[in-house]
Amino acid sequence: MPDAQPLLKISAIGKQFPGVRALHNVDLTLNQGEVLSLVGENGAGKSTMMKILAGVHTPDEGTIELDGRAVQIGSVREAQKHGIALIHQELNLSDNLDIASNIFLGNEPHKYGVLDRKRIYEESAGYLKRVGLDFPTDTLVADLTIGHQQLVEISKALSVDARIIIMDEPTSSLSKKESGNLFEVIRDLKSQGIAIIYISHRLGEVMDLSDRVAVLRDGENAGELVGDEITHDAMVKLMVGRDVSQFYNRTATPPGEVVLELDRLRTPVHPTVEISFNVCSGEIVGIAGLVGAGRTELLQSIFGVTPAVGGTMKLEGKVLNPRTSLDAIDSGVVLAPEDRKRHGLVLEMSVRENISLARLRQDQKVGMIDFRGEAELAEETIVKMNVKTPHAEQITQYLSGGNQQKVVLGKWLAMNPRLLLLDEPTRGIDIGSKQEIYRLMEDLAASGVAVLFVSSEMEEVLGMADRALVMHEGAITGELPRDQLSEEAIMQLATGKKAAA
Amino acid sequence: MNKNTLGILGLFILIFGITWASNENFANGYNMTNLVKWSSLYAIMGIGVAFVIITGGIDLSIGSVIGLVAALMALAIKQGWNPTLTVFLLLGLSLVIGLIHGLLITKVKLQPFVVTLCGLLFYRGISRWLTDNQTMQYPNTEGLDSFFSGKVGLFGQFSLPSPLFFLIVIAVLAAFFLNRTIWGRYLLALGNNEDGARYSGIQTDRLKITAYVICSFLAGVSGLLFAYELDSVQPAQTGEFYELYAIAAAVLGGCSLRGGQGAIFGVIIAAAVIRLLRNSINLVGISTHLEFAIIGLVILGGVTADELIKRIVAKRRTAQVNAAKS
């Protein structure tokens, strides 16, 4: 039931970051008491859009109107004043404080600087009631589960009289039950007239929850769906801009010899859980699961940066027991990490220096850098990977996410790996580069490399994996061959249901 | 030569010119020899700490290591030890000191500031205790004297002091290591992004330890040079605060305390600037009480200018990249 005047109207918003056009000419409207879902692939601009609304970023162009009046949202505080609250994917609570202190953090009622503790605890209790969280207000946040912590975040939003609550991937680390709980709260808030902007990769949830869905693609509006139009296929089609079958056209070839063999491997984060599986030459295997399921940690143990604490690994029949990443690299195992900027690249260094970083050792002449060889390697890699950079001396910081990822992959391909590990390979990457990275994964597999990737993006797992392993709380809860892959099946396993035998 | 080094070179020439113009005694051979000598000594310390700063760390113990080495040298000679052998033992000791710092920082994961602050206190205390806090003269040790504090006369009163030759050898090796070897590249990479370097198969702990070993070793070398230069050692004072001059030279010379940046030549010129300032303040007739204040201001001005220039460059780069996109 759209009002004559929307609560929030965003027009022609644009935002540039170094090397990236994050948003271009984006429009969005939001009505009172409405759940608007914002969907799009990684890097489509959803998070940037929300950070603009929450005052974290300021837009380069465009206008934001609240109740028909143009407003500037220059800071988080101003956003709060306008009644906009953002609940981040990673919660922003202080573990060492109790629930009430967290709810009023930064907004403490006080008299001449002295905290009004009575009000803090009394009012908090009221907010907890509204979100259905039945805990004493002096419980330490550290003692709550993530699902409950999220409700504290929502209480915090209520405490500043938020009229618009933005939730960024709220269920990415919640169990099925916790998610269900959250949906109840969302419906409840809606009936209280609060508008919700819901961001998620889980299209199933989006379908259940949304009054309206806005789709972003490469920083632009890709379309909008209302009511019955909201179907899985319709959303995916808008997200990737063409039929899915054209975007992901993985045709699996029969796998070759076993390359990686894990036998009861135990990682330091889940030391009691044993993991066993194989990856074969020419195979692309996906690992799905919730955030925090231990997928990244598994890859890091295979790569040796956080060595395994038990079990055995074999690479092409030979024992692989990496204690450092150097051990793994020497054996032919490489990892394109999830956090590209922190782990994948040395951002302040040039494209050339990043590409050669792993290979230098191999090409050295008694410790000296082979500068000519290095320059040639850089040029070759730039061409081969189609890295869009003005020259090899460009500082990698100034490249777009997609090109940065190509540099990371180029660095590893120079090592001729046997096993390529990819952690969220297309996070924050535009559609064009994304497709190139998928082609590259396929080419590598075709040349006999074993590819193992972790992804939180359902479409990516469905589209690229010959086989998917699903993890939950550190364990592999099931394995799905390509013909049994579905969002439903993956979510079942990801939230802890064992595979039906 | 990068922009920073050019800037600091310009600063050097400016101060040099002003001082020359305002006091005729400045350019005489004796003063110049002294200037070269002390600049070289500062530069050697500065190069050492530059390696540590490039890793994103810090070494506050340099002055105390200098004091310790100088004190032990005097003590050993007094006890009748073979001077040449003692020199090697003391250089070995400084390597071990660096190794211990490196191990504590990488394996025990203590903060560099804390480890080397404790070092600063510990080595100073040990020096004073071993020598009973007595000032000791350096007896004449044939050969070593001219090796560490000799001069090669050039013309008039101007001569090339020993520390300059040490500096040349050290600087060439250091620059080669940093710019031409894979380890130098690794050091810069790890200083910029330690995790990123580690994920690329670089053994970051070993490299960091190496940086602390280099730093302490050069402090040890400086200790011997200073001791022979001063011809005596005061256990409570020799080398005191020198770590601050070394760090100042490294920072003014283009090393960022955030790590990942450094140019050996810049550090040498910066060391010369600091030394030159002390000399100029005397000769130009400014109250020597203002010495520290002026040095502090110049360093602050230098790094501020550097930071502002960097920001402008970054902005221009971003604009270029975005322009190329659309």
- Paired tokens of A311: 């079990």
Average pLDDT over residues A33-46: 88
- A430: pLDDT confidence band, cut at 50, 70 and 90? confident
pLDDT in tens, B68-111: 999 999 999 889 899 999 999 999 999 999 999 999 999 999 99
Query: Which member of A21, A325, A346 has the closest CB to residue B189?
Result: A346
Q: Find out whether A222 and A215 touch, Cβ atoms under 8 Å.
A: yes
**Residue in A closest to B190 by C-alpha:** A346
Average pLDDT, chain A: 90
Query: Which member of B200, B203, B321 has the closest CB to residue A357?
Result: B200
Q: Do A21 and B185 touch (CB under 8 A)?
A: no
Cβ contacts of A335 on chain B, cutoff 8 Å? 199
Minimal CA separation from A478 to chain B, in Å: 29
The pLDDT value given to residue B284: 86
ipTM: 0.89
Whether residue A402 has pLDDT greater than 80: yes
A207 burial (CB, 10 Å; 0-12 / 13-18 / 19+) is middle
Whether residue A179 has pLDDT greater than 90: no
- With b for 16 or more beta-carbon neighbours within 10 A and e for fewer, the B24-39 pattern comes to eebeeeebbbebbbbb
Minimal CA separation from A361 to chain B, in Å: 7
pLDDT in tens, B217-233: 999 999 999 999 888 89
Q: Do B193 and A345 touch (CB under 8 A)?
A: yes
Number of domains present in the structure of chain B: 1
- Measure the CA–CA gap between B46 and A265, rounded to whole angstroms: 48
Whether B245 is in a domain gets the answer yes
Query: Which member of B180, B197, B200 has the closest CB to residue A368?
Result: B180
Supply the range of the domain harboring residue B114.
32-276
Q: Which of A323, A357, A394 is the best substitution to test chain B (most B C-beta atoms within 10 A)?
A: A357
Average pLDDT, chain B: 92
Q: Do B180 and A345 touch (CB under 8 A)?
A: no
Whether residue A463 has pLDDT greater than 50: yes
Q: Do A329 and B201 touch (CB under 8 A)?
A: yes
Query: Is the alpha carbon torsion for A137, A142, A147, A150 positive or negative?
Result: positive
Residue B191 touches partner A, C-beta closer than 8 Å = no
Cβ contacts of B185 on chain A, cutoff 8 Å? 353, 357, 360, 369
- Paired tokens of B85: 């052998």
Q: Find out whether A102 and A144 touch, Cβ atoms under 8 Å.
A: no
Residues in a beta bridge with A315: A260, A318
Whether B6 is in a domain gets the answer no
Query: Which member of A16, A303, A344 has the closest CB to residue B196?
Result: A344
Whether B301 is in a domain gets the answer no
Query: Which member of B180, B321, B325 has the closest CB to residue A369?
Result: B180
Q: Where are the domains of chain A?
A: 8-247, 258-346+418-494
SS3 for A174? coil
- Measure the CA–CA gap between A386 and A449, rounded to whole angstroms: 20
**Residue in B closest to A336 by C-alpha:** B199
- Paired tokens of A246: 């054209």
Residue B122 touches partner A, C-beta closer than 8 Å = no
- Measure the CA–CA gap between A98 and B82, rounded to whole angstroms: 67
Dmax (CA) of chain B:
77
The pLDDT value given to residue B149: 83
pLDDT in tens, A270-302: 999 999 999 999 999 999 998 888 999 999 999
Query: Which member of A16, A329, A367 has the closest CB to residue B322?
Result: A16
CATH of A8-247, picked from 3.40.50.620, 3.40.50.300, 3.40.630.30, 3.50.50.60, is 3.40.50.300
**Residue in B closest to A362 by C-alpha:** B182
Fold classification of A258-346+418-494 (topology level)? Rossmann fold (3.40.50)
- A501: pLDDT confidence band, cut at 50, 70 and 90? very low
**Residue in A closest to B179 by C-alpha:** A369
CATH code, B187: 1.10.3470
**Residue in A closest to B322 by C-alpha:** A19
- A1: pLDDT confidence band, cut at 50, 70 and 90? very low
pLDDT in tens, A75-104: 988 998 899 999 887 778 898 999 999 999
pLDDT in tens, B200-257: 999 999 999 999 999 999 999 999 999 998 888 999 999 999 999 999 999 999 998 8
The pLDDT value given to residue A291: 82
Q: Do B185 and A19 touch (CB under 8 A)?
A: no
Query: Which member of B198, B201, B321 has the closest CB to residue A398?
Result: B321
A and B: number of Cβ contacts within 8 A: 88
Residue B315 touches partner A, C-beta closer than 8 Å = no
Q: How far is CA B306 from CA A394, B3, B301, B311, in A?
A: 21, 9, 9, 9
Nearest to B184 by CA among B97, B99, B264: B264
Q: Do B202 and A395 touch (CB under 8 A)?
A: no
Cβ contacts of B201 on chain A, cutoff 8 Å? 324-326, 328-330, 358, 361
SS3 for B70? helix
Minimal CA separation from B304 to chain A, in Å: 20
Q: What is the DSSP string of A282-345?
A: T-EEEEEE-TTSSHHHHHHHHHTSS--SEEEEEETTEEE--SSHHHHHHHTEEEE-S-IIIII-
Q: Write the secondary structure of B177-245 as one string of H (helix), E (strand) and C (coil).
A: HHHHEHHHHHHHHHHHCHHHHHHCCCCHHHHHHHHHHHHHHHHHHHHHHHHHHHCEECCCCCCCCHHHH
Beta strands, E only, B29-144: 136-137
Residue B323 touches partner A, C-beta closer than 8 Å = no
